[in-house]
């Protein structure tokens, strides 16, 4: 072997080679194997949201109560961009629901506004 291409044992290249397996495992654990508490909280919120939304649609829960509970649950979650986006839309939806329940807007206007705000939310979450 040509000695001019040999690296001394304590060289930076050797140090990187020694750390490579450790770094690869750490990256794999973060990317593949870990679910953050934030993700679990969003999943739990989504499950609750689907059931409570069905109750609001059936009339067993008022829309304003549904959105108030949504707000409370969202503010209890760990901070995230998705949480911020959902909170912003929930405030708009709560305000719209209160207008509907106080008869400031019709059921058709409420449904239209609700659909518009929810579609904007879905587009922002993509």
Shared domain for 66 and 51, answered yes or no, is yes
Mean pLDDT, range 100-116, rounded to an integer:
97
Shared domain for 12 and 41, answered yes or no, is no
Per-residue exposure over 22-55, b if at least 16 CB sit within 10 Å of its own CB, e if not: eeeeeeeeeeeeeeeeeeebbeebeeebeebbee
Look up the domain containing 15 and give its range. 3-33
Mean pLDDT, range 2-17, rounded to an integer:
58
Mean pLDDT of the chain: 81
List, in order, residues 6 or more apart from 120 with CB less than 8 Å away. Answer: 89
Residue 54 scores a pLDDT above 60 = yes
* C-beta separation of 118 from 89 below 8 A: yes
Tokens of 55: 């109750």
Tell me, what's the pLDDT at 118? 93
Shared domain for 74 and 112, answered yes or no, is yes
Q: Give per-residue pLDDT as tens, 93-102.
A: 999 999 999 9
Residue 42 scores a pLDDT above 80 = yes
């Amino acid at each position: 072997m040509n000695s001019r291409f040999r690296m001394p044992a304590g060289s930076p290249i050797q140090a990187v080679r020694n750390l490579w397996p450790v770094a690869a495992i750490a990256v794999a654990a973060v990317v593949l194997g870990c679910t953050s508490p934030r993700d679990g909280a969003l999943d739990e919120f989504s499950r609750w949201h689907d059931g409570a939304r069905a109750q609001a649609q059936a009339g067993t829960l008022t829309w304003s109560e549904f959105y108030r509970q949504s707000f409370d649950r969202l503010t209890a979650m760990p901070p995230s961009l998705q949480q911020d986006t959902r909170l912003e839309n929930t405030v708009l939806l709560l305000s719209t629901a209160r207008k509907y329940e106080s008869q400031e807007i019709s059921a058709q206007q409420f449904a239209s506004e609700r659909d518009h705000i929810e579609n904007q939310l879905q587009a922002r979450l993509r």
